[in-house]
Structure 1
Amino acid sequence: MMDVRRAAERYPGGDPAAGIESRHAFSFGPHYDPDNLRFGAMIACNEERLAPGAGFDEHPHSHTEIVTWVVEGELTHRDSTGHETRVRAGDVQRLSSAGGVRHVERNDADTPLTFIQTWLAPLSPGGDPSYEIVHGIADSTPYAVPEAGAMLHVRRLEAGARTAVPGGAYVYAHVVRGEVRLGAEELGQGDAARITDATDVEAVGGPEGAELLVWEMAGPSRPS
């Protein structure tokens, strides 16, 4: 079963006056929808746009696996465990907040920043926080988040190129840029598909090609 969610359906958020524009795929902050709390292990998929000099001041997280994908620009990350890094397009950053961590996310560059951040519920709460960054991840290299029973696949498709979508109990596909035909559905930039019990699903790049993030998740339970 495939449930397509369009970019225009996302909940708006952030603080535009402070240079922060957010779009949330799931219930977030004041936008509460009891029927849209999670999909498999995924509890948030946020598109964030930060103007130069804008950012999120130090704030806490716990019991969440936070994976960040930069679309354009450069993200400055600092956390309470001592990590300070700059994340660029093509890098995968993961912050395992575990029992608790605080971090800062800013655009310290002089160009706009756009990134996609996914939050995953861990299989077991608690533990010590950890941090990892993989620079320039390749299409053929899936990124595992075993703490959440999840795997991220990056697909960069030329026009008309085809790729198989991983099978799984829960698969979440997000179009970063371009257009994709996913099964019988046409998806544009910012659109996403939630696929339950995915089998034999194929993605085809649109006329200008596409970049696609695909999450493969075991998931702790099925949504009702």
Structure 2
Amino acid sequence: MDVRRAGERYSGGDLAAGIISFHAFSFGPHYDPDNLRFGPLLGCNEERLAPGAGFDEHPHSHTEIVTWVVEGELTHRDSAGHETVVRPGDVQRLSSAGGVRHVERNDGDVPLTFVQMWLAPLEPGGEPAYEIVRGIADSTPYAVPEAGAMLHVRRLAGGERTAVPDAAFLYVHVVRGEVRLDGAELAAGDAARIADAEEMDAFAVTAAELLIWEMAAG
């Protein structure tokens, strides 16, 4: 198990524009050849947008982009004609495939925080696709077959224990709260990368929310 602390993430964004970013993997000007990916996972970015702030239209290709809103509301618009507002509890996926452009903004009047995760597809190219699942139920897995991956969202009460999947690659990101994962203490913003995970569980020291990626070897 490789534990990465919240404070070890690369910080970025544009304070003057109301954007604060924290990157768990090599990203943009923060190039780290030893931290490019974990299995198919290429990025796990925490983005904080002030009211009215956002990312103007920009391109993506050959990436599966999954977004989880922590607080506030995210407005998404893309070149394929989709326009949605993503709220806490929703899972949004943009399959950029051969290429797509999109805009992400905080059009609300309260701060927005979201976690965005990027995965490499098993095969490049294809047509862009978009999906949003409203209010995904706890423990209901969300499949991203294009990347050989499955997202598990777990919301735990203090003192609750949950099994985590066996997987060739397992990535656990703590959205909020404190958990004990196979003896390792993790707090909000911390993450664990586990290769060949077997028979592990997570114990909620406090009420907690976890994003758990179960990923195949590819």
TM-score range, shorter chain: over 0.9
Q: Secondary structure at the match of 2:177?
A: strand
Q: Aligned AA for 2:212?
A: V
Inter-partner Cα distance in structure 1 for 2:196 and 2:38: 12
Inter-partner Cα distance in structure 2 for 1:16 and 1:23: 12
Q: Aligned AA for 1:9?
A: E
Structure 2 runs not aligned, ≥5 long: none
Inter-partner Cα distance in structure 2 for 1:71 and 1:112: 10
Inter-partner Cα distance in structure 2 for 1:167 and 1:17: 43
Shift of 1:139: 1.2
Q: Aligned AA for 2:197?
A: A
Q: Secondary structure at the match of 1:17?
A: helix
Q: Match for residue 64 of structure 1?
A: 63
Q: Secondary structure at the match of 2:178?
A: strand
Q: Match for residue 215 of structure 1?
A: 213
Runs of 4+ in 1 over 6 A off after TM superposition: none
What's the C-alpha RMSD, in Å, of the aligned pairs? 0.5
Inter-partner Cα distance in structure 1 for 2:13 and 2:146: 28
Inter-partner Cα distance in structure 2 for 1:17 and 1:192: 28
TM-score relative to the length of structure 2: 0.99
Inter-partner Cα distance in structure 2 for 1:9 and 1:103: 29
Q: Match for residue 172 of structure 2?
A: 173
Inter-partner Cα distance in structure 1 for 2:205 and 2:107: 34
Inter-partner Cα distance in structure 2 for 1:219 and 1:127: 22
Inter-partner Cα distance in structure 2 for 1:201 and 1:68: 25
Q: Match for residue 182 of structure 1?
A: 181
Structure 1 residue 11 corresponds to structure 2 residue 16? no
Inter-partner Cα distance in structure 2 for 1:113 and 1:153: 22
Inter-partner Cα distance in structure 1 for 2:55 and 2:22: 15
1:74-104 superposed Cα distances (whole Å, 9 cap, x missing partner):
0000000000000000000000000000000
Q: Match for residue 195 of structure 1?
A: 194
Alignment of 1:68-217 (within 5 A): 68-207=67-206, 209-217=207-215
Inter-partner Cα distance in structure 2 for 1:195 and 1:201: 10
Inter-partner Cα distance in structure 2 for 1:29 and 1:81: 25
Shift of 1:140: 2.6
Inter-partner Cα distance in structure 1 for 2:205 and 2:14: 33
Q: Match for residue 39 of structure 1?
A: 38
Inter-partner Cα distance in structure 2 for 1:63 and 1:91: 23
Q: Secondary structure at the match of 2:37?
A: coil
Q: Secondary structure at the match of 1:8?
A: helix
Shift of 1:206: 1.3
Inter-partner Cα distance in structure 2 for 1:165 and 1:15: 36
Inter-partner Cα distance in structure 1 for 2:78 and 2:71: 22
* Aligned residue pair count: 218
Structure 1 runs not aligned, ≥5 long: none
